[in-house]
Amino acid sequence: MKITDLKCAIIGNNPVVRITTDEGIDGIGCGEASKPYLKPHVLFYKDLILGADPRDVERVMRRIRRMGAFKPWGTAVSAIEVALWDIAGKASGQPIYRLLGGKVRDKVRVYNGNFRRKMGGPSPESHAENMKWMKELPQKFTIIKQGIAFHGGMASEVPNYYYGDYEDVDRFPKRGRMTEKGLKHTIACVEAMKEVLGDEVGLALDVGPGVIPQDALKLAQSLEHLNLMWMEDMITGDYTPHVTASLYRDVSINTSTPIHTGEQIYLRQNFMELIETRAVDVIGPDPLDVGGIAELKWIAEYADLHGIDMAPHGTLDGLIGLAALTHVSATLPQNYLAFELPNAQFPWWHDIVEGMPAPDDIVKDGFIDMADWERPGLGITLNDETRKYLKEEDADFLD
């Protein structure tokens, strides 16, 4: 079997990859909906993989892996890797999770960081009301993540929140020391949310990046009594092209609140210092940024050896990313907590993706049942309805 073509189409806003072969078997992968600009980057790798056997996933990846980078530039490599596993699974008649060593759990826990509504403001009362709404979602999530501080509206909506100049620019690295008022406000909002969730639902916080280490420690220590699931990306994260493990370790060794980072990191090598120095308590690579699903599994195994938990990121990975996360998460060791559940950016995604449970049946009581994921490869395909949502330049994507 040989790769005959690599295609990329922006469907909705997700860059979707399709790899075709000379035996008529194809595979799909994708990137986050926030990255519609990545099509040229995907196609950059085309000449490097043509003619290769897609079932030799690692051999193909060795041709392209070194030419990716921290988020967002690892996405193209990662999407190709997922498509290769899809082909390998279809060719062998097995779901991807079996090719990764088989499942170690029949139900995969997921958490909510993506099913949201517009909040009524930055007040503790609004945070509590929003948490009540999320707690009552039909998926019955057992873990909910909420953005606070620099990962949300507090920095812009709360007057005198921090010592710094706020710039209303997407992905701008907002950063600074919190004022006493800002710190107290943040603590009050977290306490209000936890009051709603009680001990029935775990609360995780997406905090930065942009919190200085001193404030990160102060905030983590102030919230120890709430038994949070984790505090994520406080110092670095998202589109930060470095790790700063030593700064995270200064925080994590001085608080009982679990500290989390990793969604922007590309490849296992860039997790080494975080893991080997136990700089954080939880890591959260995204399979569509880190280099693919096999890369994520390797990192999870290595983290497990060092007593570090795994909670993969996935908020905008879409339905194709959901399938990839489900397969790999079923195979991860016991340090696995839950993955961040992606959803369809547009409702019509459920019309073009076949093989997936109905939207209301994907998650039940906070878990995905692996009995629904027994089909070969990812277990999903794009049907002919997809053509309605292709741009003119991508008209031949399914041909």
Domain residue ranges in the chain: 3-93+381-394, 98-372
How high does pLDDT run on average in the chain? 97
Cis peptide before 138 (omega within 30 of 0): no
| pLDDT, tens digit, 9 for 90 and up, residues 28-62 | 999 999 999 999 999 999 999 999 999 999 999 99
Confidence of residue 169 (pLDDT cuts 50, 70, 90): confident
Place of tokens 């195994």: 301
Task: Give the per-residue pLDDT at 167.
Answer: 80
Q: Are 84 and 295 in contact (CB under 8 A)?
A: no
- How far apart are the C-alpha atoms of 398 and 382, rounded to whole Å? 8
Residue type at 314 in one-letter notation:
G
CA dihedral 13, 50, 297, 271 (to 10 degrees): -80
Give me the amino acid identity at 129: E
Average pLDDT over residues 295-312: 98
**172: pLDDT strictly greater than 80:** no
Q: How confident is the model at residue 242 (pLDDT cuts 50, 70, 90)?
A: very high
Q: At what angle do helices 318-329 and 75-92 cross, to 10 degrees?
A: 70
Task: Identify the H or E element spanning 40.
Answer: helix 39-43
For residue 347, what are the contacts with CB-CB under 8 A and spacing of at least 6?
A: none
User: In degrees rounded to 5, what are phi and psi of residue 46?
Assistant: -55, -55
Position 292: which residue type? G
Q: Give residues with Cβ within 8 angstroms of 51, minimum separation 6.
A: 2, 3
Q: Please work out, in degrees rounded to the nearest 5, the angle formed at the alpha carbon of residue 179 by the alpha carbons of 173 and 182.
A: 80
Instruction: Quote the CATH superfamily of domain 3-93+381-394.
Output: Enolase-like, N-terminal domain (3.30.390.10)
Distance CA 115, CA 66 (A): 34
DSSP secondary structure of 257-273: S-EEE-TT--SGGGGHH
Please give the average per-residue pLDDT across 330-351, as a whole number. Answer: 97
Mean pLDDT of 83-93: 98
pLDDT for res 380: 98
Is residue 106 very low, low, confident or very high in pLDDT (cuts 50, 70, 90)? very high
- Residue 166 banded pLDDT, cuts 50, 70, 90: confident
Residue 176: beta bridge partners?
211
pLDDT at 141 over 80: yes
Q: How far is CA 294 from CA 7, 142, 202, 338, 391, in A?
A: 22, 26, 28, 17, 31
What topology does CATH give the domain 98-372?
A: TIM Barrel (3.20.20)
Give the Å distances, CA to CA, from 125 to 129, 132, 186, 289: 6, 11, 12, 35
- For residue 369, the model assigns a pLDDT of 98
Q: pLDDT confidence of 168, banded at 50, 70, 90?
A: confident
Answer with the residue of higher pLDDT: 174 or 160: 160
Within 10 Å of residue 59's Cβ, how many Cβ atoms? 12
Q: pLDDT category, 84, cuts 50, 70, 90?
A: very high
Reported as a pLDDT band with limits 50, 70 and 90, residue 1 is very high
pLDDT, tens only, 305-328: 999 999 999 999 999 999 999 999
Helices (H), 306-357: 318-329, 349-352
- The confidence score (pLDDT) of residue 327 equals 98
pLDDT of 173 reads 75
Contact criterion met (CB below 8 Å) for 247 and 213: yes
Q: What is the DSSP string of 226-260?
A: G--SEEESSSS-TT-S---HHHHHHHHTT-SS-EE
Q: How confident is the model at residue 267 (pLDDT cuts 50, 70, 90)?
A: very high
What is the pLDDT, as a whole number, of residue 374? 98
pLDDT at 171: 72
List pLDDT tens digits, range 345-374: 999 999 999 999 999 999 999 999 999 999
Alpha-carbon torsion angle 39, 45, 46, 48, nearest 10? 180
pLDDT tens by residue, 199-210: 999 999 999 999
Distance CA 46, CA 363 (A): 36
Which helix (DSSP H) or strand (DSSP E) does residue 99 occupy? helix 96-99
Q: What is the pLDDT of residue 197?
A: 98
Phi, psi of 176 (to 5 degrees): 165, 170
